[in-house]
Structure 1
Amino acid sequence: MAELAAFVELNEPRILAYRVYFSADGSTMSVLHFHPDVASLEFHMEVAGPKFPPVAPFVRLRSIEVLGRPTDELVAQLQAKARLLGDATVIVRDLHAGFDRLPRH
């Protein structure tokens, strides 16, 4: 995962953050990435997508949760990734209220 994080950092200049966390016993991993817009997530799927199939035998994905409204095409890509890595669910949550102070690119 450190190699993947380094790859994303080098090849995806618009991504705001990419973080990998493990549970105390190392059995569960969570990956969070923050994008300034849908186009950045679409680019991530295009650039990092080829990295997913080689790790498929070693990962059992439980879920992908997207906060914000992606395109239907992007949801389909995420569903394909979810099937590849463990027949996981894809959850999309629309923004209800709030704000951010993240820099806009």
Structure 2
Amino acid sequence: MTDFIVYIDQSTVSDGKLEELRSAMRELVDFVEANEPEILAYDVYFSADGSQMTVMHMHANQDSLEFHMEVAGPKFPPIGEFIEFDSIDVYGRLSEDLIERLNDKASTLGSGRVSVHELHRGVDRVSNN
């Protein structure tokens, strides 16, 4: 079984804030790239009409996600002025402490929910196992 964690959050973009949000997210992605060498992927997507933002990141293990929350966490609250946070879906096994931190993030940025989905069965062709 894999320890990979896939994190997906979704937010509604506040009216008139799309360009400011795009700029803030460019800065956040640059920060993650420079400061989180263990993160496997960190991607930001916008819907065609610019009303929704999705952030996806992939981690080799829970430690990587915990590090992301620690290092990038202080960068999240200012982004809250540009969005209404809708949801976090995490695929993989997480500690109760990390789930609590994600719930804190969701309530800081909006009224979104956090759902954790544990792996039942799958194929892993990414790792060297």
TM range (shorter): over 0.9
Q: What runs of 5+ residues in structure 1 fail to find an aligned partner?
A: none
> 1:53-64 alignment to 2 at 5 Å?
53-64=77-88
Match of 1:71 among 89, 92, 95: 95
Q: How far did residue 99 of structure 1 move? A: 2.1
SS of corresponding position for 1:87: strand
SS of corresponding position for 1:18: strand
Q: Which amino acid aligns with 1:25?
A: D
SS of corresponding position for 2:111: coil
Root mean square deviation, CA, Å: 1.0
**Structure ID, larger Rg:** 2
TM-score (norm 1): 0.95
Q: Following the alignment from structure 1 to structure 2, what is the Cα–Cα distance between the partners of residues 69 and 39?
A: 11
Residue of structure 1 equivalent to 2:67: 43
Q: Following the alignment from structure 1 to structure 2, what is the Cα–Cα distance between the partners of residues 11 and 62?
A: 26
Q: Which amino acid aligns with 1:20?
A: V
Identity %: 57
Moved over 4 A (4+): none
Q: Following the alignment from structure 1 to structure 2, what is the Cα–Cα distance between the partners of residues 45 and 77?
A: 8
Residue of structure 2 equivalent to 1:10: 34
